[in-house]
Structure formats: C-alpha cells, structure tokens
Structure 1
C-alpha cells in the first residue's frame, strides 16, 4: 500500500486540485488531502470549512481522505506514515519554489520524496488565488470550482 499526501491551503479547492487528486488516486492506494491552516495567508474560508469543502469535492473518489492540519508538514508526513508528497506544478516559477520545499521536506521527514504533477491542460491557468480574485471582483467562477465551493462562495460576503 502506497500512501501519499497532497498538502495545500485549498482556499478554495479548485477543479485543478480535484484533477490532481483524481489522477493521484489512480496511481496510489491512498491519497490524503491535507488542508493547511495557513493563517499567515489570511484565508477566505476557515480551516474547518476548507476541510468540509474538500471532502465534499472529492467524495466520489473512494481512496481519498481529507484532513486538516496546523503542524509542520514533515510532522504530518511522519504521523500518517506517508511514502510521498504530491504537488501540482503549473509553471517554472511553481517548480523552483516546490523544488526548494521538496528538498526541505526530504531532510525534515526522513527522506520522503516529492512527486510533481502538471495540471491537465484545461486547469493549467487556474489557482485558488485567481479564483478568489475573480470572485471578489464580481466575476463568475462556476467553471473553475466544484459545486460545493461555488455554493459556499455565493454565501460568502465579498470583502
């Protein structure tokens, strides 16, 4: 059994994230989607709600489990007996940053490997940040997020 973790802030989870999760679930026995508290990013949604939205968005994938965490990722990796970290990489800028994190996590989590997956072509330009900006400026984000996220966004007061 190969257990992998896909960490992120997921504020909100997008169709691009779901795509990475679905593709990872085909390759590995168990995928743990780890939703980071990330208070320094000042998320639009609280951690508990982001966990719930992720759970609802991937409920159709049987070998996926969603957890929330506020700890160092390396600690979660060790606690959950993770074999690899999955990261989506859209651009060379993403890759450079993720490569640094991969080296750090390998050192901190006793050799855990990081695997980089490019997004499917239709999601290559979608990020949580872009979705939030479009939404907060009155744009339609329906095609970029799962239905539970769209519903939650529509109930959220635009800041």
Structure 2
C-alpha cells in the first residue's frame, strides 16, 4: 500500500521522523509530501527544496528505501490522485492536533478519490516537539541536536549563520 505523509516540515524534527520511520515499517511505500504554499513564502525558514533535501538526507541515513520525498501545492486530494494513493498518514501529538486533523480528514473524504486518513500517535518523548519551537530555540543559539535529525541540525546552522551575516 502507498501512503502519503503530508506536511510543511519546516524544519523536520524527530517527531516527524518518528512517524516516517513507523509508517515505513507498515506500508510498502511512503511518500513524504512537502507543502509548497507560495502565499506563505515569507513565513517559511526553508524553501520547499531545502526541506525536501533535509528529509531525503535523514531518510537516506536511516536506510529507509521505501520512503520517497516530493513536493505538492494546492489540494492534497488532487496530489494524491496524481500519484495514485488513497491513504493519508498524519501524526498526532495532543487532543488539539486531533480536533484539527479530524476535521481535515472528514473534508478530504468528501473530495476526489475519498482518501482514508490513518493517525499515528506521536511517541511520548516527541509529543512536545514542534517545528515552531525548534526554530525559536535555534534562532537564539540553543542546542536542538536532541530534537531533530542530524540533517536538520546542519541545515539550521547553515541557514541561521547565513541570515546573521
């Protein structure tokens, strides 16, 4: 079965990576789909291609051969039709995530090929991690190496050092 794990992944953190690893153990093919949203261009730290590269490096270092990384814009259900997938995988950290994701799952079922959404609960040790927090800690020079894959650490250092100059 081919599943899609969509998100912004700005940047990829260990909570995201945990969902990727766990999904890759249960499904023949996992596409990590990085959202491109031109209207939010100024809000992203990393470009879509930079996010794709970070995820590809992390996946390659973990030798997950059934995981691919792609970008999409527009409606997720339209992207899923194009790549012939009918299952969305989403990670949940808390009840607040569930409420939002449940609403999106119901909306997605109304369109296109009526995709199913499967939820993977965040591992307890990553349930507090968010991309927003990672960026904030890194911007102030904090150590995020225990919260993100090595590829993210390197990308954050490079990006934030170039911004400071």
Which TM class, normalised by the smaller chain length? over 0.9
Unaligned runs of 5+ in 2: none
Higher helix share: 2
Which residue of structure 2 aligns with residue 79 of structure 1? 82
Distance 2:83 2:52 in 1: 17
State the aligned residue count.
158
- Deviations along 1:28-59, whole A, 9 cap, x unmatched? 11000000013427110011100111111111
Distance 1:13 1:71 in 2: 21
Which residue of structure 2 aligns with residue 89 of structure 1? 92
Q: CA RMSD in A?
A: 1.3
Which residue of structure 2 aligns with residue 44 of structure 1? 45
User: Secondary structure of 2:16's match?
Assistant: helix
Unaligned runs of 5+ in 1: none
- Deviations along 1:47-98, whole A, 9 cap, x unmatched? 1100111111111201001001122111111111112100001011100000
User: Secondary structure of 1:33's match?
Assistant: strand
Distance 1:112 1:69 in 2: 16
